[in-house]
Amino acid sequence: MAKISSIHILFFVFITSGIADSATVFTLQNSCAYTVWPGTLSGNSITLGDGGFPLTPGASVQLTAPTGWSGRFWARTGCNFDASGHGTCVTGDCGGVLKCTGGGVPPATLAEFTVGSSNAGMDFYDVSLVDGYNVKMGIKPQGGFGNCKYAGCVSDINEICPSELRIMDPNSGSVAACKSACAFSSPEFCCTGAHATPQTCSPTYYSSMFKNACPSAYSYAYDDASSTFTCTGSNYLITFCPTQS
């Protein structure tokens, strides 16, 4: 998967012919015991869900994406917005607004997609911890054909987060998120500079901790082999705080 600064969105182009286009339905489900505020960011001009919205415990919402759509979803936590949609979030904040127009502030668990360019085009998807972790998250294909495996992180990394990477909730005093080691701004942790290729950027102590906890999630920028999944003609269930894969 290509790494584009801190924005880790996939862009693939597939060429097919003679096949009718169809839409992809994303169902976002909140299985957390608290409200989350999903943020959405598109890699093209189609913004889903107006960029962000509240999702109470047990609630779900469906968002429809056209063929060729690419983008990401993440959960914001500890948010407080006024009637005009301005406010702040403890994690995943996107400029102090309810309806995101840009990415969330790391650390945040990400669900990333590139939808095929036609009904027979292959979708690419992953759950990424490259920008850190805030909540458990899973992607489950619904229908479709091909590999279509579950992708996600069902372990609570906040419980094992090293003290130097913790983000604390100022209200509860508990660990709200776990930063990526790239927060240290060191090339070997960020896969930059002399470490900007798959050959020179290897797993670190910190990324290995993420990988051991969540084997099917991206743990660092070049963790493609075990972390990128494909499916064709599927809809997707994205669960915040899944209990199992």
CB 104 within 8 A of CB 43: no
| pLDDT tens-digit series, residues 173-221 | 999 999 998 888 788 888 788 887 878 878 888 888 999 999 999 887 7
Specify if 224 maps to a domain.
Answer: yes
* Among 226, 231, 19, residue whose Cα is nearest residue 122: 231
Q: List CB contacts of 187: < 8 A, sequence separation 6 or more.
A: 193, 194, 195, 196
Supply the mean pLDDT for the chain. 88
Between the alpha carbon of residue 234 and those of residues 42, 61, 85, 142, 147, the distances in Å are: 19, 17, 33, 6, 11
Specify if 42 maps to a domain.
Answer: yes
For residue 223, what pLDDT is reported? 75
Query: Measured between alpha carbons, how far is 232 from 143 in angstroms, rounded to an integer?
Result: 9
Percent of the chain exceeding pLDDT 70 equals 90
| pLDDT tens-digit series, residues 121-153 | 899 999 999 999 999 999 999 999 999 999 999
Specify if 158 maps to a domain.
Answer: yes
In the chain, DSSP finds a helix count (H) and a strand count (E) of 2, 14
Specify if 5 maps to a domain.
Answer: no
Specify if 107 maps to a domain.
Answer: yes
Specify if 91 maps to a domain.
Answer: yes
Domain count, the chain: 1
CB neighbours of residue 225 within 10 Å: 7
Specify if 215 maps to a domain.
Answer: yes
Greater model confidence, 120 or 7: 120
For residue 2, what pLDDT is reported? 40
For residue 69, what pLDDT is reported? 95
Strand partners of residue 38: 75
Average pLDDT (3-8) is 38
For residue 16, what pLDDT is reported? 32
Query: Measured between alpha carbons, how far is 73 from 177 in angstroms, rounded to an integer?
Result: 16
| pTM of this structure | 0.87
Any idea how long the chain is?
245
Secondary-structure breakdown of the chain: helix, strand, coil percentages, each rounded to the nearest 5: 10, 35, 55
Specify if 12 maps to a domain.
Answer: no
CATH code, domain carrying 112: 2.60.110.10
Domain with 35 in it: 24-240
